Amino acid sequence: MIQVDDVRKKFGDQEVLKGVTFEVKKGSISTLIGRSGAGKSILLRHMIGLDEPDKGHIVIDGKDIVGMKTPELNKIRRRFGVLFQDGALFDSMSVSENVAFPLREHRGLPENEIQDVVMQKLDVVGLRRHTQKYPSEISGGMRKRVGLARALALDPDIVFFDEPTSGLDPITRGAIYRLIENTHVDGKITYFLVSHDISGVMAISDEIMMIHDGRIVACGTPDSFRTSSDQVVQQFLMGSPDGPISID
Amino acid sequence: MRLVNFIKSSIVGILDMAEELLSEIGLVLMFLGEFLYWAIRPPFRIQETFRQLDFVGTQSILLIVMTGAFTGMVSVLQGYNAMSRYGAESLVGAATALALARELGPVLTGLMVVGRVGSAMTAELGSMRNTQQIDALLSMAVAPVQYLVCPRIIAASIAMPFLSAIFAFSGMIGAYIMSVEYLHIDAGAFMSAVRDYVTSSDVTQGLIKAAAFGLILSLVACFKGFNAGGGARGVGVATTKSVVLSSVLILFSDYLMTAIMF
């Protein structure tokens, strides 16, 4: 389980996170939604220990990662998989080398076993035929799929997704959501997504949190979001420029 | 009144620049500490270090040979012009050899490597920073300084003395050809002057300088790339600053080392 408790962050005079609090249940698919610039990706960076909050706690399976020393944090990170917004693939490595990277770093397996795992993960994302290509030679959707294969390489307990479908066409977007659903094992692996693609995440999420103006303004199941009377939630769901969320 | 304001603003500008330079040097020194911390901890990135040795060293050889040869030839022409006024033409080879071993070899190699390798290191690491590849390393519990920076700095510090030696050797071949074939200086006199005046400590000093320049240029390049922000423009700015700061620090540290070892 992940607990985010009263997390606050300021950049200069601008307070981006103003006391964010929520819980992510173990084994669930939970999604944080909100407008672009609402602080979703910043919060995700805090949850994977890339940034430190000014105040607050982020507790992962009972351990607070805020202020944690790097070696201890790295032990927790080895249980993570992260799919970054544009895949963040290493452009000097081929597709298979990218997927093999975390295995080579942390598993110490013989090379033939590493290759078996790589092929198995690339099979899952449907990219077995593209192992020798470089990130610059594949499409945006394929890069995200390779990123997912790499995130799953160590069979993590938690996978974080930063805008997994941004910049993709509707069909590829659907394929990515199907992959997320298919690779998720209920009760065993926790998926935490950050997205503003409301229609897509409503279909696959167990729980949704909405961040607005640096705070969580709504939290619940997709059904409770659909029936919510909260004007902020309804404006976001409708995609309307008129309402309490101002366009700046 | 306008003149006073101009002088005032010029002094303020110079002081601001000096302050910025000092703070940059301070940050680079902190980065050096981080490099040393990770360099002595396993896993040692041997394969990546060899890849960088190939990039910094092997792939720079042609550039260094050409630059060295032309530098040696120009030094002979200029030296001959000055020395012939005193009837000391035969010493032109020794003067060129001393200059190449002690100064021109390490300094010009350093500046050439800054242009070819330092800028590429900054651009590559800056691009990795901007495309979240460095964040990806961190999220996979891999220390980016150990994985990306240590191999580059170690490779540059090892490769630079070899490149400097190649520069000096190419320079001497250029100097020999120019002196003997074009200026008709006696080949025996040229070689014996070189043997008489150039000592092993001259060569050693040059190699020590080259290793120090390798450390400086790769440290600055990695520091600037590692901290580059602001997309493509940020990478461009970081690369320019990396080349300027490395070049200034090479020339400044050259003076310091020469003053100490002279």
pLDDT in tens, B118-154: 999 999 999 999 999 999 999 999 999 999 999 999 9
- Beta-carbon separation of A91 and B133 below 8 A: yes
> Does the structure show a pLDDT above 80 at A248?
no
- pLDDT over 90, % of chain A: 77
Taking alpha carbons only, the member of B15, B38, B85 closest to residue B222 is B38
Backbone Cα Rg of chain B: 22
- Quick one: tokens of B61? 């050889």
- Beta-carbon separation of A75 and B132 below 8 A: no
A chain contacts of residue B145, beta-carbon cutoff 8 Å:
none
> If you average pLDDT over residues B211-215, what whole number do you get?
98
> If you average pLDDT over residues A58-77, what whole number do you get?
94
ipTM for the whole complex: 0.93
Q: What is residue A33's DSSP assignment?
A: E
- Kindly list the residues of chain B whose beta carbon comes within 8 Å of any beta carbon in chain A: 127-128, 131-133, 135-136, 138-143
Integer Cα distance of B68 and B175 in angstroms: 10
* Nearest chain B residue to A70, by CA: B141
- Beta-carbon separation of B132 and A84 below 8 A: yes
Q: Rounded to 10 degrees, what is the CA torsion of A128, A134, A137, A141?
A: 60
- Beta-carbon separation of B141 and A48 below 8 A: no
* Straight-line distance from the first to the last Cα atom of chain A, in angstroms, rounded to the nearest whole number: 35
Confidence bin at B261 (pLDDT 50/70/90): confident
Integer Cα distance of A178 and A164 in angstroms: 12
Confidence bin at B13 (pLDDT 50/70/90): very high
- Kindly list the residues of chain A whose beta carbon comes within 8 Å of any beta carbon in chain B: 45, 48-50, 70, 74-75, 77-78, 80, 82, 84-86, 88-91, 101-102, 105-106
Backbone angles phi, psi at A8, to 5 degrees: -125, 140
- pLDDT over 90, % of chain B: 89
* Nearest chain A residue to B131, by CA: A88
Integer Cα distance of A117 and A107 in angstroms: 11
- Beta-carbon separation of A50 and B138 below 8 A: yes
> Does the structure show a pLDDT above 80 at A152?
yes
> Does the structure show a pLDDT above 80 at B173?
yes
Find out whether A96 and A118 touch, Cβ atoms under 8 Å: yes
- Measured on CA atoms in the order B250, B252, B253, B258, is the torsion positive or negative? positive
A chain contacts of residue B138, beta-carbon cutoff 8 Å:
49-50, 77
- Quick one: tokens of A44? 């995700």
Domain residue ranges of chain B, discontinuous segments joined by +? 2-261
> Does the structure show a pLDDT above 80 at A33?
yes
Q: Other CB atoms closer than 10 Å to residue B17's CB: what's the count?
A: 10
- Quick one: tokens of B212? 């120090």
B chain contacts of residue A89, beta-carbon cutoff 8 Å:
133, 136
> Does the structure show a pLDDT above 90 at A48?
yes
A128-138 residue pLDDT tens: 999 999 999 99
